[in-house]
Amino acid sequence: MSRMARTLTLEIPIAGMDCVECTQHVRQALVNLPGVESAEVFLASEKAILRLDPAQVNLAVIRQVVEGAGYSVAQKAQQEVTAVTRQGWPAFSHRVNRLIPIGFGLVIVIVVVGEWLGVFENLNHLISWPFWVAAVLVIGYPIFGNVVRAAWRRQVTSHTLMTLGVLAALVVGEWMTAVVVVLLMRAGDAIENFTAGRTRRAVRDLTALAPQTARVERDGQEMVIPVGQVQVGEMVIVRPGDKLPVDGVVHDGYATINQAAITGEAMPVEVGPGDKVFAATLASLGSLRVRATQVGADTTFGRIVKLVEEAEAHRADVQRFADRFTRYYLPVVVTVAALTLLIGRDPLAMAAVLVVACSCSIALATPIAMLASIGAAAKQGLLIKGGKYLELLAQADVLLIDKTGTVTLGQPMVTDVIALNGQNEDELLALVAAVEQYSEHPVAAAVRGAARHRHLKIVESRHFQAIPGLGVRAAVNGKTITVGNRRLIEKDEGGRMKDERLNGQLSFIVDKLESEGKTLLLVAEDDTLTGLVAVSDTLRSEAPAALSRLRQLGIRRIELLTGDHDRSAAALSAALGIDYRANLLPEDKIAIVRDYQAQGHRVIMVGDGVNDAPALAQADVGMAMGAAGTDVALEAAHVALMREDWSLVPELIQIARRTMGVVKMNLGFTAVYNVVGISLAALGIMPPVLAAAAQSLPDLGILANSSRLLKQTVKSNE
């Protein structure tokens, strides 16, 4: 069996993680297992995704390794219970979360006053040392256990430093100080847990939008079942006020649907037979019977949640810098503590240095802000696949735009049908529709729509072939029919279009249609040009204003890239006031992206995600317009706009820049705070008790600063 065949992707829930450092420990433990090819661990969604060889490693071994790292593999049943009861939890959790900072502030005040009045020193003399040592061990057992396990794996954590500080206090007889430090360490862990909980909030708010049950027809009976039991192809009943449990196609009925869970747009849409509908959207003013096409994690909403949960895997460069900084920061702190002891001969000052050094806040500074923005954006129909792309969006200075379905409405209409060689217009249009019946391109949809409007019979075609950037080809009634642009027809074997077929009156008509900005489909039957079809699209009304705003944001270069002919591209680009390149193949677009990147530019490529997926993938940030229900777009793009609105593009860039501003503030605040804190501790100005109280304050500062991003709203022109 090949290696490819042995590889399995496994997703497991991890319990007990409350900081970024925790995810690093779990990941390191997992990747060291024989048979594990890769592992990604996510704090926000509390899970790990592994690629492994099931012949070498199993779930029992994984559970043992995770537990050895100080965490646990949660039971799936527990997750399901949590999902069902989560709706009642947020309100209570929110009230408790509001009390945590207040309570912590009171503790700090008590500690400061107690230290100033000498209460701790008096208690130190009144109660014998065995009591204090026992108290330290009992209160600090969870922390000390994690430190020992980390040491066994040759890892140093922020708790390692603080534990050394506690030991130093015990060695010099500061029993009460050691107890207070341990208490504040536990309180600090509660603050980090609280901070991590706020990080998860965006994802949990998103998952809370999903329905838990579905009403289906089975054996002629209508029944309510858990949403996870719905099968593809089943008929789902949707009543007014119900959330749709599946993606599907309306079989019968009419209703008004609020699609905010998918597109972020609160304006409802009317749906009826044949229309697509999505899971987690809300029905009102009507009932529907929907044939399920995608269920569970395969629905558009399920894929959005999954991508948001896994956004941590695409970490920004600034986050990698913070991770590297943390690795070097801890040894530096140990060195400063050792020098403090050697030079000042003050064990308590050394202990204070070890206690006040807060590496967790450095690790939290970036992901807290990134995930807050990603979660807030997802609830408004903007899917960002990771902090990496937020950072690149903030740096972007070149914007490349696809034409059809992106800067135009993507709903072209057939305007002209010109038949040659004795055919009439209807015969030619029916022939083109037969060839185009399997194409996903908007122009093909326009041709099929025009044929249906004329009530033409579309015969079955065979051997369909899509030729990227050129057109399509298929066999119809035993003949090879080619439909595409000039280059495709000219490339046909034996083609002499330039010399014989496209001349005289027809050449004049072609030039006229192209000068009007229309897209031409030339039709060849075997080796004979039989006619042409002209298609015209409409410019999106909000696009010019959005492009103007992008220039104000510092996007230096904006270009239209299209496979369409030069005249059509020129007419559209003139309306937008931008440059263009026409007659491009997909590989030409990729080459243009690479050329800009080679010049040091950060490139955004905006497309519909279907026929321009390679260019989207090559760009620094590939942005798919109107990606709802489009699997290809969700996979290919780094950023997906679930609704078709150009005003979202400058909004996204502003979100990215705002997020990076918060990240830089977080990192700057943490750096200054740690330098000042370590300096005061090394000089003996800050005793260990105050150092313990102070070490969690950066977490609260980062949380307060990053929480602003959870409240971001996106303006829309729709």
Q: Which amino acid is at 665?
A: M
Spot the catalytic one: 189, 402, 608, 645.
Answer: 402
- By residue count, the chain amounts to 718
Q: How far apart are CA 694 and CA 184, in angstroms?
A: 9
Q: Which amino acid is at 616?
A: L
Beta bridge mates, 10:
50
Burial 455-485 (b: 16+ CB within 10 A, else e): ebebeebeeeebbebbbbbbbbeeebbbbbb
- Alpha-helix residue ranges (DSSP H) falling in 345-485: 347-356, 359-378, 387-395, 425-436, 442-453
Residue 509 has phi, psi (to 5 degrees) of -65, -45
Residue 64 has phi, psi (to 5 degrees) of -65, -40
By C-alpha distance, which of 281, 261, 262, 263 is closest to 271? Answer: 281
Q: Which amino acid is at 650?
A: P
By C-alpha distance, which of 313, 305, 314 is closest to 383? Answer: 305
By C-alpha distance, which of 197, 177, 165, 185 is closest to 696? Answer: 185
Q: How many other CB atoms are found less than 10 A from the CB of residue 145? A: 11
Residue 543 has phi, psi (to 5 degrees) of -65, -45
What is the end-to-end Cα distance of the chain in Å, rounded?
A: 54
Q: How far apart are CA 27 and CA 30, in angstroms?
A: 5
Residue given tokens 């370590």 in the structure block = 678
Cβ atoms of 600 and 550 closer than 8 Å: no
Residue 604 has phi, psi (to 5 degrees) of -100, 130
By C-alpha distance, which of 513, 424, 422, 526 is closest to 474? Answer: 526
Q: Which amino acid is at 458?
A: I
Residue 293 has phi, psi (to 5 degrees) of -110, -30
Question: Which contiguous run of DSSP H or E holds residue 652?
Answer: helix 648-682
- Indicate if 699 belongs to the active site: no
Within a 13 Å sphere around the CA of 97, how many CA atoms are in the beta-carbon half? 19
By C-alpha distance, which of 589, 595, 644, 598 is closest to 617? Answer: 589
Q: Which residues are catalytic?
A: 402
